[in-house]
A and B are shown apart, each in its own frame.
Chain A
Amino acid sequence: MPKRTDIQSVLVIGSGPIVIGQAAEFDYSGTQACRVLKAEGLRVILVNSNPATIMTDPEIADATYVEPITPEFVEKIIVKERPDALLPTLGGQTALNTAISMHEQGVLEKYGVELIGANVEAINKGEDRDLFKDVVEAVRAKIGHGESARSYICHSMDDVLKGVEQLGGYPVVVRPSFTMGGAGSGFAHDEEELRRIAGQGLTLSPTTEVLLEESILGWKEYELELMRDKHDNVVVVCSIENFDPMGVHTGDSITVAPAMTLTDREYQRLRDIGIAIIREVGVDTGGCNIQFAVNPDDGRIIVIEMNPRVSRSSALASKATGFPIAKIAAKLAVGYTLDEIPNDITEKTPASFEPTLDYVVVKAPRFAFEKFPSADSTLTTTMKSVGEAMAIGRNFTEALQKALRSLEKKGSQFTFVGEPGDKTALLEEAIRPTDGRINSVMQAIRAGATQEEVFESTKIDPWFVDQLFLIKELADELAAADRLDPSLLAEAKRHGFSDAQIAEIRGLREDVVREVRHALGVRPVYKTVDTCAAEFAAKTPYFYSSYDEENEVAPREKPAVIILGSGPNRIGQGIEFDYSCVHASFALSDAGYETVMVNCNPETVSTDYDTSDRLYFEPLTLEDVLEIVHAESLAGPIAGVIVQLGGQTPLGLSQALKDNGVPVVGTPPEAIHAAEDRGAFGQVLAEAGLPAPKHGTATTFAGAKAIADEIGYPVLVRPSYVLGGRGMEIVYDETRLEAYIAESTEISPSRPVLVDRFLDDAIEIDVDALYDGHELYLGGVMEHIEEAGIHSGDSACALPPITLGGFDIKRLRASTEAIAKGVGVRGLINIQFAMAGDILYVLEANPRASRTVPFTSKATAVPLAKAAARISLGATIAELRAEGLLPASGDGGTLPLDAPISVKEAVMPWSRFRDIHGRGVDTILGPEMRSTGEVMGIDSVFGTAYAKSQAAAYGPLPTKGRAFISVANRDKRSMIFPARELVAHGFELLATSGTAEVLKRNGIHATVVRKQSEGTGPNGERTIVQLIHEGEVDLIVNTPYGTGGRLDGYDIRTAAVARSVPCLTTVQALAAAVQGIDALNHGDVGVRSLQEHAEHLTAARD
């Protein structure tokens, strides 16, 4: 049955900003879907507020709306575009919830928009725990297998307490309904924990509903990815087994595909249940994910949950098998059946089959607990990881060790030297699931733990435990061997040992091991991911390395460009870098090169086998990259390796690659050094006559104090050689400086602390630019909303800059050019400036694609990353202007006056983390980056653009109601005007006594409320925290003073997060918000597609 002919246009909803639990995988799936639908001749309308996505590139959809994903804005888009259908299953929980809410409001019916890919009834049956229990029950009645954990549905705290009794006591699992990534769920071991977790869960759940469940901690955990078409053909695309048993969110578990420890009978039982569920739920077309727990003692199967949509696991399954779930889901949604869709990889067999693997896939999560030192690092059923790496090997050990080194985190690889520690203590430590538990287990094994003991502590399946023993035994052999003979070396490589690990064990240098290995002829081969275990010939070069016999890399004619990706998402290095890599691949392919992508992040578009000519799903370590370069150099000519676009990961390899004779193109390693090394960069600035804030380096408190005394407080202090502002702090006085030096573990004689003058009240400016050696193209100038001192990644910013004049831009351009030239950039450079008074200081320069490249590109309708890739390979800016890749004249510094204003806002993961007492973590911004993602608001004026950015990031700004204001002394002056504006808009102001006093003296009335520390008043007057919790505050303005103490602000801000009340933590944000509120209160806010914006901009440029 071919495609439906009654649908001509489809609205696709994306997933919005990257948050924990909803990340780049939805860009991957959404991009695939949009491309498929467009190729089918449909008009594709897309809404997604996240500018750092490939899907929001103007060529992916016909009309791309970078607007907030809220029912209100989506309705505006529907009114304007009048699509025939809405596809809600590819944008995660955000898209699904938005679609459901629009259905319930009758919007879809009103405009005749058909939901495709999932019907409302099926979504509800899949997502509503009560209904889903009935589904499982019905399945059990039909096929005799599968059951739900015994559970109890609650709508109030009374229900919750009753429920525990019904289930026979603690521990119990608490799961709020309809939240993404399991937000708000957890284990309660006693009443106190229960009250906290369930209380928050009731609030988080849009239906004020939580489920209490019997504990199945320690059971084996599995997932199946299924697809169904309208003829009721169902296939299981992939089985996934969790290395970490039940109790850890699957997003936080190490997971393995295919399932490793099931017999066929048990596997088929899961398959039967899965198929019966997808039918019973009534997912008409598309994919779903079903999670199971299996009792290791008797095989009892519990169905945990299902997601009636494309999910993180389905992205993983797609990458793990080569079966593109999202792409096929999109085709099924428009009427095709599985047997009508060809398998891309074999080209001749249909998609109506089940992939079979002749390799093992391991996914390992990447956490960011170091950014949230007060957060409890225990892994629970609430997802906390910020990214993941996937690795493929021909066996589990190879895949596991590759995955661990792909995480690129100190200590993520197994280490076999030094004292392991006390066995009992290590086993005790391994009971609690944490980031790196697998390393504790390995140390316990080294310390003499038996397989039984490891199983007792962790409940990790004995087969997996034995695999860890296998690795440890090999490490022992490596240590004991007289010399590295070829068979031992090959065996170690076959089980995934890196050259670095072998070097550590043997007390050698990594490069020496590599030399020996090469001399002995021990090198990896590359195998193909082909969906069919080699039963049919694969047409798609999707490779992974293995120490095996036969290499499958085919010779090629065209010169290849190898693009190094950015590895697992982490705070500070996320999807923005993948965006640039993908753009480079597209641009270089258009320019006639064969593109070769290297990356290990399964969530991304770059690791879609469709993106580049060849894909190597490999770790981004020097060893792995060198081997790929070697393999590709045997296949054909190599034009160069691009390290500039994937963030710090590939940039860090630059010098070593060059030293190994690899042709690194673009900005040379020496230039990268010139920008990153403080001394060398200082010289660049001095030669160009550019000022930098006063600074110095010290290794002791006395030294740091001397510098601070000289340059004056506040100072910005940080350890050297860190990324993403790690450990960076603004220090206002000597006491704190002393404490900082004492607390910091990173400071040593070889790693001094950097002390910079902190530019209080400075405007921070980000510039993205291209430089080809002769000409500068100023990509865009972004003015931060928050003052300098807040990490640029966490700061909101506007482009074009809203308060800078022509003269300032001229100075920025001149400085940027001087730095780009002085450093020796060939491609992109990002520079951060601070304007204090009238002086333009240079804060830092990064000679690479920055986090803001996608935002700048979208805001100015110019593909900067594409241009950078071309410049790396020798094109000039003049040539690119002539070609039309860059505008014929002008640049991002000369935007027409009526160019739209774009606002970027960062999205913070506060609600995900709690400290060990279950309290929220503080939400103040600082020099250390902590945001996971970003949104863009675009409109013709700043206020509206800012309001849109807030709506997209955190929910709409309130236009009336109660605003609570409490600011630090230094902010009191700047608060007066915005406060007056709020009153003018009809807000009632609440303030603590100090702030209220200042307001009153300025003629602004504010009701005084009690601080939390004052407690409830004699007549029951509630504190501000109580008021927030009771939903009586609509807007919170709370600026902190320092980060040290547990001040009142902490309780206020965490309450704001818990109750989802907009909370502004800087006065600059308040000023911007007031403009936004003003815009919302004045007339209708419209929507406009990027294509329309671009058309307008292009016309204005001419």
Chain B
Amino acid sequence: MTTSTRGASRTPAVLVLEDGRIFRGRAYGAVGVTFGEAVFSTGMTGYQETLTDPSYHRQVVVMTAPHVGNTGVNDEDPESKRIWVAGYVVRDPARVPSNWRSRRSLDEELTKQGVVGISGIDTRALTRHLRERGAMRVGIFSGNALPDEGTMLAEVRQAPEMKGASLYEEVATTEAYVVPAIGEKKFTVAAVDLGIKGMTPHRMAERGIEVHVLPATATAEDIYAVGPDGVFFSNGPGDPEKAEHPVSLMREVLERKTPLFGICFGNQILGRALGFGTYKLKYGHRGINQPVQDRTTGKVEVTAHNHGFAVDAPLDRVSDTPYGRAEVSHVCLNDQVVEGLQLLDQPAFSVQYHPEAAAGPHDAAYLFDRFVELMAEKGAQRA
């Protein structure tokens, strides 16, 4: 335990939004400068998972929960090998971590990984601002000699925008690897890594699936080289409009009618592959309390979300696509955003949210079972 004085850091920090609004606080994590898209996440637990989720690449994440870092950092909960967020905004960082699994403090971890953050600002005011004005570019500047506001604002406005950004290649694995099935192996899945979270292959492995995680640049040959019973497209950062390679890759999978499952970015890829449009939400869905209705059963599940883009598909009817009829299978009850798609004439479906959770509730874990069923049916047909 530490005997530090109050407020871990007294180094000043400034958060500058591209529309000119400025928040002054204290440095948190690494001292320096960072830029990204300002987004807020409303989860009250799971900061480690959030920080290490590749979908947050190039985003500065504002935590609406005021106390962050209370349980420290452990070695089991990260969703990838590093922290991906471009910057981190919290109100009251913990001075002392408390948890039997904690290995070090979050502050130390952020510093070690060079993640620039800011603490002590009115995160609720910032969240309300983003809600009303939409996600936007932001810069965090910390240190004892900061440039003037005009200079900082100019720098923020030079940073790249999220719309039109192709980012998945930057986060995906460059080498294929295998996550072995837990227990008896029943299926093989080729998972195209567009920014995959560690929990996703784990959820499949728990169900007897051997997961071959392939780089985002994988070709159809690479996919079918592993002899897959099903193909999976992962979550990931960036604008789906720029994801030409994954879209054409998915079309090849759809052509061959291999059972297909997509999550998040993977859902947007399926949408585009089917001919639907995608668009950027004003401020996105980021949190672990979102009500999603499974339209086939009418049941509501509380789900984990992290998406700034969404699929534009009609809710009120079945659509015809090059791969047969498709419908919106899931919808977010807060704002009627499309949260899932399914093909009616061949085994393919996807969801916009995170059934693997981590962080978040486990209500939607049944979707992995659904994927298993599709593969089992397909197998049965083949046999």
Q: Are B291 and A359 in contact (CB-based, < 8 A)? A: no
A732 at the interface (CB under 8 A from B): no
Chain A nearest CB: distance from B167 CB in Å? 24
Q: Which of B94-102, B223-231, B318-326 contacts A (4 or more CB under 8 A)?
A: B94-102
Binds A, one of B44-52, B235-243, B368-376: B44-52
B165 to chain A, nearest CB (A): 24
The answer to whether A452 touches B1 (Cβ under 8 A) is yes
**Structural contact, A261 and B70, CB atoms closer than 8 A:** yes
- Does A395 contact B67, Cβ atoms closer than 8 Å? yes
Q: Is the CB of B91 within 8 A of A394?
A: yes
**Cα distance A549–B121 when bound, in Å?**
8
Residue pairs across A and B with Cβ atoms less than 8 A apart, 15 shown, are A261-B99, A262-B99, A263-B77, A339-B333, A356-B43, A356-B44, A358-B42, A462-B1, A466-B96, A477-B6, A491-B6, A534-B131, A535-B42, A536-B131, A548-B125
Q: Quick check: A466 and B64 within 8 Å, CB to CB? A: no
Please tell me if the beta carbons of A231 and B64 are within 8 angstroms of each other in the complex. no
**A451 B362 Cβ-Cβ under 8 A:** no
The answer, among A263, A337, A549, for a CB contact under 8 Å with B74, is A263
Q: Which of A220-243 contact B (CB under 8 A)?
A: 231-233, 235-236
A734 within 8 A of B: no
Decide: A297 and B100 in contact? CB cutoff 8 A: yes
Interface presence of B268 (CB below 8 A): no
A354/B64 in contact, CB under 8 A: no
A360 within 8 A of B: yes
Given the complex of chains A and B, what is the CA–CA distance between A272 and B363 in angstroms?
9
A229 CB → nearest B CB, Å: 9
Q: Does B298 sit within 8 A of A, measured CB to CB?
A: yes
A532 touches B42 (CB 8 A): yes
A265 at the interface (CB under 8 A from B): yes
- A416 at the B interface (CB under 8 A): no
A497: which B residues are within 8 A, CB to CB?
A: none
Specify which of B45, B74, B131, B302 is in contact with A267 (CB 8 Å cutoff). B45
By a CB distance below 8 angstroms, the chain A residues around B123 are 358
Beta-carbon contact of A296 and B289 below 8 Å: no
A360 near B67 with CB under 8 A, answer yes
Of the candidates B128, B289, B291, the one whose C-beta lies within 8 Å of that of A339 is B291
Contact with A along B61-73 (1 / 0, CB 8 A): 0001111001100
**B45 touching A350 by the CB < 8 A rule?**
no
Question: Contacts A353-B289, A354-B289, A358-B65: A470 and B42 contacting too (C-beta < 8 A)?
Answer: no
**Interface residue ranges of A436-492 to B (CB < 8 Å):** 450-452, 461-463, 465-466, 470, 473-474, 477, 491
A495 to B291, CA, bound (A): 34
Report whether A231 and B299 are in contact in the complex, using a CB–CB cutoff of 8 Å. Answer: yes
| Residues of chain B in range 285-306 having any CB-CB distance to chain A below 8 Å | 287-291, 293, 298-300, 302
Which of B97, B290, B302: most chain A Cβ within 10 A?
A: B302
Assess the B1–A352 pair: CB atoms within 8 A: no
A743, CB-defined interface residue at 8 Å: no
A317: Cβ under 8 A from any B Cβ:
no
- Residue A835 lies at the interface, judged by CB distance under 8 Å to chain B: no
Whether A349 contacts B64 in the complex (CB less than 8 A), given A233-B299, A339-B300, A550-B124, comes out as: no
Task: State how many angstroms separate the Cβ of B95 from the closest Cβ of chain A.
Answer: 6
The listed residue with most B CB atoms (<10 A of its CB), out of A261, A338, A348, A451, is: A261
Q: Are B1 and A451 in contact (CB under 8 A)?
A: yes
Q: Digit string of A257-279 for contact with B (CB within 8 Å is 1, else 0)?
A: 01111111101100110000000
Chain B interface, number of residues (Cβ within 8 angstroms): 59
Contacts of B131 in A (CB 8 A): 534-537
Q: Which residues of B contact A337 (CB under 8 A)?
A: 300
Which A513-532 residues have C-beta < 8 A from chain B?
Answer: 527, 532
What residue in chain B is nearest A343 (Cβ atoms)?
B334
Residues of A within 8 A of B300 (CB): 231, 233, 337-339, 350, 352
Residues of the A chain whose Cβ atoms lie less than 8 Å from the Cβ of B298: 231
User: Is A396 on the interface with B (CB-CB < 8 A)?
Assistant: yes
A352-B333, A550-B122 known; A260 vs B66 contact (CB < 8 Å): no
Closest B residue, CB atoms, query A549: B122
A357 at the interface (CB under 8 A from B): yes
Question: A232 and B362: CB pair below 8 A?
Answer: no
List the A side residues contacting B96 at CB < 8 Å. 451, 462-463, 465-466
Distance between B135 CB and nearest chain A CB, rounded to angstroms? 13
Q: Contact between B77 and A265 (Cβ–Cβ < 8 Å)? A: yes
A1014 within 8 A of B: no
CB distance from A1008 to the nearest CB of B (A): 66
A260 touches B70 (CB 8 A): yes
Contact A474 B6 (CB under 8 A): yes
Chain B 238-256 per-residue mask, 1 if CB under 8 angstroms from chain A, else 0? 0000000000000000000
B29 at interface by CB-CB < 8 Å = no
CB-based contact B66/A232 at 8 Å: no
B18 close to chain A: CB less than 8 A? no
Cross-chain contact B48 with A358 (CB below 8 angstroms): no
**Considering the chains assembled together, what is the distance between the CA atoms of A356 and B70 in angstroms?**
17
B-side interface mostly: loop
Interface string of A839-862 (1 = CB under 8 A from B): 000000000000000000000000
Whether, in the assembled complex, A157 has its beta carbon less than 8 Å from a beta carbon of chain B, the answer is no
A463 and B99 alpha carbons, distance in the complex (Å): 9
Complex contacts, B334 vs chain A, CB 8 Å: 348-350, 353, 536
A473–B6 CA distance with the chains assembled, in angstroms: 7
Of residues 115 to 130 in B, which have CB atoms within 8 Å of A's CB atoms? Answer: 121-125, 127-128
Q: Which residues of B contact A394 (CB under 8 A)?
A: 66, 91-92, 124
Contacts of A231 in B (CB 8 A): 298-300
Question: Do B46 and A264 touch across chains, with their CB atoms under 8 A apart?
Answer: yes
| Cross-interface CB contact of B291 among A260, A350, A550, cutoff 8 Å | A350
Residue of B nearest to A466 (CB): B96
Q: Which residues of B contact A272 (CB under 8 A)?
A: 362
8 nearest A-B pairs in the assembled complex, by CB-CB distance? A264-B46, A550-B125, A549-B122, A264-B359, A533-B64, A463-B98, A466-B96, A264-B45
**Assembled-state Cα–Cα distance A534/B129 (Å):** 10
Q: What would 14 more interface pairs be, CB under 8 Å, given A360-B66, A451-B96?
A: A232-B299, A263-B48, A264-B359, A268-B361, A350-B334, A354-B302, A356-B44, A358-B64, A358-B66, A395-B66, A533-B65, A534-B64, A535-B127, A536-B131
Interface assignment of A898: CB less than 8 Å from any CB of chain B: no
Q: Which chain B residue lies CB-closest to A233?
A: B300
| A355 CB–B CB distance under 8 Å | yes
Nearest Cβ on chain B to A360's Cβ, whole angstroms: 7
Is B360 in the interface zone, CB < 8 Å from A? Answer: yes
Nearest CB to that of A271 among chain B residues?
B361
A1102 within 8 A of B: no
Which residue of the partner chain, among B40, B45, B333, contacts A262 with CB atoms under 8 Å?
Answer: B45
- Give the docked Cα–Cα distance between A268 and B358 (Å): 9
- A299 near B: Cβ within 8 Å? yes
Kindly provide the distance from the CB of B314 to the nearest chain A CB, expressed in whole angstroms.
21
Q: Does B5 contact A (CB under 8 A)?
A: yes
Quick one: given A268-B357, A353-B302, are A260 and B121 in contact (CB under 8 Å)?
A: no
Q: Give the distance in Å from the alpha carbon of A298 to the alpha carbon of B291 in the complex.
A: 32
Q: How far is the CA of A799 from the CA of B42 in the complex (A)?
A: 55
Interchain CB contact under 8 A, B65 and A357: yes
Asked whether A527 lies within 8 Å of B124 as measured between CB atoms, the reply is yes
Measured between alpha carbons, how far is A396 from B66 in the docked complex, in Å?
A: 9
- Chain A proximity of B343: nearest CB distance (Å): 26
